[in-house]
C-alpha cells in the first residue's frame, strides 16, 4: 500500500502543478478562473502573453486535438471521442501501474498518468487543452505545449530508457 500511495502522490502533484499553471494563465487573461465553459468563448487564440527570450514565448492557445494538435480534423466530435479514448488509456495505465508494473516502470507510468489526467481535466472542463509554452527558432515554432505534456514526454522517455537498461541487465545476467 505504501508503494501505491507514493505514486498516487506523484500523480496528484503533477495534476496540481499542471492545473495551477494553466489557472494562473487563464486568470491573468480573463481576471477569473472559469469552472466549466466552452474554451473558444473565453479567450481568443493565439494570445501572446510574453516574449521571454529569443527562442521562448509564453502564449495562450487552445488545443482541441491531441498532442501537437493531432486529430483536429475530427471536427466538433473530436473532444468527446478524445475524452473517451484518453480515459480508457489512463484506466489501462493506472491498472498496469498498480497491478502489474515492474519497479522500473512505475515512476514513468506515474508521470504519464499524471500528465494525461491533467490534460483530461481541461478537455472535460473546456473541451480543449490549454497550451502555453512556445519554443521557436526564428519564425519556426514547435507546437505550443503545457506542463502535463512535459510530464507525458518525460515519462515516455524514462520508460524507454528504463526498459532498455533493464533489458541490458537481463542480457548480461544470461551471459554469465
Active site residues: 131, 149
Helix-, strand-, coil-residue percentages of the chain, each rounded to 5: 65, 15, 20
How many other C-beta atoms lie within 10 A of the C-beta of residue 159?
A: 19
- Closest to 6 (Cα-Cα) out of 110, 104, 93, 161: 110
Please tell me the distance from the alpha carbon of residue 84 to that of residue 120, in angstroms, as a whole number: 10
DSSP 146: -
151: burial class by Cβ within 10 Å (0-12, 13-18, 19+)?
A: buried
Beta partners for residue 50, in sequence order: 58
User: Strand 129-137 relative to strand 47-51: parallel, antiparallel, unpaired?
Assistant: unpaired
Please name the residue that has the C-alpha cell 474554451. Answer: 39
Amino acid at each position: 500500500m505504501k508503494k501505491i500511495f507514493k505514486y498516487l502522490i506523484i500523480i496528484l502533484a503533477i495534476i496540481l502543478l499542471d492545473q495551477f499553471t494553466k489557472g494562473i494563465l487563464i486568470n491573468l487573461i480573463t481576471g477569473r478562473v472559469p469552472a466549466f465553459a466552452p474554451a473558444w468563448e473565453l479567450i481568443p487564440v493565439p494570445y501572446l502573453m510574453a516574449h521571454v527570450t529569443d527562442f521562448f514565448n509564453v502564449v495562450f492557445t487552445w488545443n482541441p486535438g491531441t498532442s501537437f494538435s493531432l486529430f483536429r480534423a475530427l471536427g466538433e466530435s473530436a473532444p468527446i471521442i478524445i475524452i473517451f479514448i484518453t480515459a480508457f488509456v489512463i484506466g489501462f495505465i493506472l491498472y498496469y501501474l498498480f497491478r502489474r508494473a515492474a519497479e522500473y516502470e512505475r515512476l514513468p507510468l506515474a508521470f504519464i498518468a499524471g500528465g494525461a489526467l491533467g490534460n483530461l481535466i481541461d478537455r472535460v472542463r473546456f473541451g480543449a487543452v490549454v497550451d502555453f509554452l512556445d519554443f521557436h527558432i526564428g519564425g519556426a515554432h514547435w507546437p505550443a505545449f503545457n506542463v502535463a505534456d512535459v510530464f507525458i514526454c518525460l515519462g515516455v522517455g524514462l520508460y524507454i530508457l528504463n526498459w532498455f537498461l533493464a533489458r541490458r541487465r537481463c542480457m548480461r545476467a544470461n551471459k554469465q
